[in-house]
Amino acid sequence: MTIRIDKLGAVIALMVAYGGLVAPFAIFRANRIVPGEARSLIEALPPAAAAGLAIVLAAVACMALLRLPVSLRLAAAGLALCALAVSIGLSARFLTPDGDSYARVAPGSGVWILLSAFALLAADAIARLGPPPWIRLLLLAAVLAAVGAVLLSGLWDNLSILKEYAGRADVFWQEAGKHVTLALGSLLAAVVAGLPLGILCHRVKRLRAGVLNVLNLIQTIPSIALFGLLIAPLGWIAVHVPGAYALGIRGIGAAPAFVALFLYSLLPVTANTVAGLAGVAREVNEAARGVGMTGTQRLLRIELPLATPVILTAIRIVLVQNIGLATIAALIGGGGFGVFVFQGIGQMAMDLVLLGALPTVVLAFAAAVILDAAIEMKAPVFNRNKIA
């Protein structure tokens, strides 16, 4: 029987070998600020746990390397991720001295390499299986539920990032609310403004180039610069416009961050609305006109429904973009997960940086998966309507 090697699997196997054998598995610090000491997989775990994890890593690397059934590769990736999650928790307990509340144990580069390798193996298997959107949503829910269960179990409590969280639990959820409010609120405002603007640009073609060029120009302004440019005008409004300050409009804080995110969001929403409406077949419009539909009826019943997948694509782009950009809002007092990122940078505490960065990544990833599934579920319906 001929042994067939999977090319991507070969890359994954190399990543597993490097992450498990060469790169440090954990970083031990006597406190949150001092330089860390790298510990290998063998040094970071009890002997039995180290041997068990090594066997799992070797088995999964071999399974990734060979062209095995896709479902088996997905199961192997899931097993490896579970073993890695348990092992890093055990490592934190093993390396932390009894009664020492100052010691910090963080995942080393080996853990992040292994996590990337197994996530890549799982993503490749899911892509090859091509599951329907609702299955992908169930997989996302299962992953989030598994992470939540591990967090609630206390297995990761000795990890440095959770020690940072323990001292900031109330503040963390306050900033999480601000982050989500900024991202979703600016998206909603952009949809409310961008949809009519896109419809207008589609109907009045002489406006299209000018409007889209202005929005393109806004996109070229760096985010920090745009936040800074908005401080002066919003500060003037707060001082001179009655009631503006009471509404939360100020030179620094959430207001300039919200306006900046709104301005960045306008181009994708407007441009995709124009593209979606322009993509509606002329024959469909002519048929609707032939049965006596008015321009407004055609827009609401024919054009916008057929353009919905393209518009949803813009909403996906904007939401993922805003979740990331909202992190920078902390620089001007806008709050959000960026508070922990910039505090951590200022204190040279990378675990505090991760406390802000990891939730941002998880939010962006979950938003992308959910909206991708929504787009895929909508597109076939509208395509069938278009053909009919």
Asked whether 221 and 214 are in contact (CB, 8 A), the reply is no
**Is residue 2 one of the residues assigned to a domain?**
no
Q: Residue 298: what pLDDT?
A: 83
Which residues fall within 8 angstroms of residue 134, CB to CB, at 6 or more apart? 373, 377
* 79 and 31 belong to one structural domain: yes
* 209 and 250 belong to one structural domain: yes
Which residues fall within 8 angstroms of residue 368, CB to CB, at 6 or more apart? 316, 320
* 142 and 234 belong to one structural domain: no
Which residues fall within 8 angstroms of residue 334, CB to CB, at 6 or more apart? 178, 182, 253, 254, 256, 257, 258, 326
* 315 and 368 belong to one structural domain: yes
* 200 and 323 belong to one structural domain: yes
Domain of 352, CATH number, reads 1.10.3720.10
The gap from C-alpha 355 to its chain's centroid, in whole angstroms, comes to 14
The whole-angstrom separation of Cα 280 and Cα 297 is 15
Residue 348, sorted as left (phi over 0), alpha (psi -120 to 50) or beta, turns out to be: left
The whole-angstrom separation of Cα 58 and Cα 55 is 5
* 123 and 198 belong to one structural domain: no
E strands in 261-311? none
* 245 and 346 belong to one structural domain: yes
* 51 and 65 belong to one structural domain: yes
The whole-angstrom separation of Cα 162 and Cα 276 is 45
The whole-angstrom separation of Cα 185 and Cα 322 is 10
Tokens of 150: 């591990």
SS3 of 89-110: the string is HHHHHHHCCCCCCCCEEEECHH
Residue 130's SS3 state is coil
* 226 and 132 belong to one structural domain: no
Q: What is the domain count for the chain?
A: 2
Q: Residue 379: what pLDDT?
A: 64
* 192 and 124 belong to one structural domain: no
pLDDT per residue rounded down to tens, the chain (388 residues): 566 788 888 999 999 999 999 999 999 988 777 788 899 999 999 999 999 999 999 999 999 998 888 899 999 999 999 999 999 999 999 998 887 778 889 999 999 999 999 999 999 999 998 889 889 999 999 999 999 999 999 899 889 999 889 888 889 999 999 999 999 999 999 999 999 999 999 888 888 888 999 999 988 888 778 877 877 777 778 777 777 777 667 777 788 888 889 999 999 999 999 998 888 888 887 887 888 788 788 888 888 888 888 898 899 999 999 999 889 888 887 888 999 999 888 887 888 899 999 999 999 999 999 988 888 887 654 444 443 3
The whole-angstrom separation of Cα 145 and Cα 79 is 16
Asked whether 20 and 55 are in contact (CB, 8 A), the reply is no
As beta bridge partners, residue 295 has none
The gap from C-alpha 383 to its chain's centroid, in whole angstroms, comes to 29
Containing domain of residue 16, as a range?
7-166
